[in-house]
Amino acid sequence: MPELKKQLEKIMDEAEGAYADVIVQFKSEKDKSLSRLLEVVVDTERGRAMMVDPAKILPPVARAFDGSQRARTLLRKSDASLAANIALDARFDALRGVISVDVADNFLNSDIVSRAVHSAKSRLRGKAKAAEPMHLDNIGGVRMVVHKQDLPGIIDEKKERVEGIYENFHIKAPRLFEASAAQLNQDEPYDGTTWGLRQTRALAAWSTFGTRGLTKNGTPVRVAVLDTGVDPDHPDIKGRLVDFAEFNGSGTIVNSGVANAFDSDQHGTHVAGTIVGGNASGGWIGMAPDAELISGLVLDGKKGGTLAQVIKGIEWAVQKNAHVINLSLGGLSFESTVGTPYQRAIVDALVRGTLVVAAIGNDGHQTTGAPGNDYFSLAVGAHDSRQRCAGFSGGRTLVLDQSSFIDSKHLPLVYTKPDLSAPGVAVKSSMPKGKWASLNGTSMATPHVSGAAALLFAATDLTNSPADQRAFLVKDLLLGGVTDLGEAGQDQRFGYGTINVLRSIDEALKRGF
């Protein structure tokens, strides 16, 4: 177990204080399915490496997914489509439900683990409640607090069950970067919407396809924003919020319901406005103003949050039937994150039909932030109104040398992030207490893509697609519809190009979705 030993040593060396707040992930019968799914993705991405036309990513026609022999022929012709390649391979049908609760209970109730947990709770006294173990069902694991000296014994005795152990690391709340006067002056002439709505072609999509977030049967597309919370009384958001939950550091919901919603900072309200905001300011700010919002407060504006908070937020959003999850959060990372808890949570969401959209980070070229750099996330970079890459926007090529899930024959695995870019400079949106502001960041670019996904769901019948196909189809359609910027094909600054939701919807309808 060299990888498990390395993970343990890292926690022992880097975790502050005498106690370790950790996430333990368990082995499961689902691991073979996950491994196979990763192999399909690896094969597909490698096939795209020399591709210069993003349109080749588009999925085949809808009838290609009906399971017939003729349909399989159509799937094979779309060799750059992730949805098509996944549909061709049925060896990971059982991926849903990564782990049973019984496995986690048996682990926590074992003598060595229960003694370590009880000892930590006794010694922590006033913080005992925060040390209470938490099931993380969507990743097949638990979060727990134990004394560092107890960890080696636990891992040694339970190594046959343990897939990995990770620090429940702290995540800072995203900083707010106000646009400068010079950046504001670069905006195109005002015509009743933000420049982002115009450049992403959202405004054109509204008029062309007759929807701003309502599906054909009149049901709103549901978008989850996991962030610092949201101000439900802002005039651009009021009436769009339908659910709210606040999570503490262990991942426990401590507050819920629209009546109790609030923004612990300002960031979440700004992000939410770019997705569902109206025109209370005199101009439209939201990509899909008729969609509905659910808000998970996973980052306290002053204290930040933890990995467990975000993981439970993702689980909550999927359980609440979100079509899209927006993650304008994360932390600078110089390591690839394949196989971490983030990946388990993202994959679990995808196979249940929920698209996960994540910011690539604001630390500039040759850096990335997790979970935007996860292999499965739809990672978003930022550009300005003249379609120039923002200097702060992250992006790099990552090299993965070791993985618990990917066969060694595929390693080293090389992949590039972001996947695409969107407006992220001088983005006007809502702020708490009925205010507005123009901010910079990949956090501002990400909700443009989440809003575009909401419009794609609304203008098509994709909400009726099988859950295990839905998110992969939307991902292919968004990437295949981009307007290529920068180098031909995928690059480290723009990904495959900038979001063009008008084209993505048009291509989806042409294919019968």
What tens digit of pLDDT does each residue of 95-140 get?
Answer: 544 445 678 888 999 999 999 999 998 888 777 788 889 999 999 8
Q: Please state the φ and ψ torsions of residue 427, each to the nearest 5 degrees.
A: -90, 115
Q: Helix count (H) and strand count (E) of the chain?
A: 16, 21
Distance of CA 248 to the CA centre of its chain: 20
- Bridge partners of 435? 431
Question: Model confidence at 187, in pLDDT bands (50, 70, 90)?
Answer: low
Q: Read off the pTM.
A: 0.95
The catalytic position among 137, 227, 263, 374 is 227
Inform me whether the pLDDT recorded for 300 exceeds 50: yes
- Does the annotation mark 443 as catalytic? yes
The b/e string for 308-331 (b: 16+ C-beta within 10 A; e otherwise) is bbbbbbbbbbbeeebbbbbbbbbb
pLDDT in tens, 387-402: 999 999 999 998 877 7
Give yes or no for a contact between 61 and 479, defined as CB atoms under 8 angstroms apart: no
Give yes or no for a contact between 267 and 227, defined as CB atoms under 8 angstroms apart: yes
> Which range scores top for mean pLDDT: 62-71, 128-137, 312-321?
312-321
| Mean pLDDT of all residues in 186-195 | 72
In 3-state terms, what secondary structure has residue 152? helix
Tokens of 220: 């709103």
Residue with tokens 């992969």: 472
The catalytic position among 81, 137, 263, 267 is 267
512: left (phi over 0), alpha (psi -120 to 50) or beta: left
Q: What stretches of 360-450 adopt beta strand conformation (E)?
A: 368-370, 378-383, 396-400, 413-417, 420-423, 427-431, 435-440
- Does the annotation mark 365 as catalytic? no
Distance CA 489, CA 111 (A): 55
Inform me whether the pLDDT recorded for 472 exceeds 90: yes
Give yes or no for a contact between 403 and 411, defined as CB atoms under 8 angstroms apart: yes
Per-residue pLDDT at 97: 45
Distance CA 281, CA 335 (A): 42
Tokens of 277: 């905001």
Distance CA 414, CA 137 (A): 30
Per-residue pLDDT at 93: 58
| Mean pLDDT of all residues in 495-511 | 98
Question: How buried is 363 (Cβ within 10 angstroms: 0-12 exposed, 13-18 middle, 19+ buried)?
Answer: middle
Distance CA 282, CA 181 (A): 21
Give yes or no for a contact between 353 and 471, defined as CB atoms under 8 angstroms apart: yes
- Does the annotation mark 227 as catalytic? yes
> What is the enclosing helix (H) or strand (E) of 106?
helix 101-109
Distance CA 477, CA 57 (A): 8
Please give the single-letter amino acid code of residue 202: A
Tokens of 40: 């399909």
Distance CA 333, CA 404 (A): 19
Cis peptide preceding 371, ω within 30 of 0: yes
| Mean pLDDT of all residues in 504-508 | 98
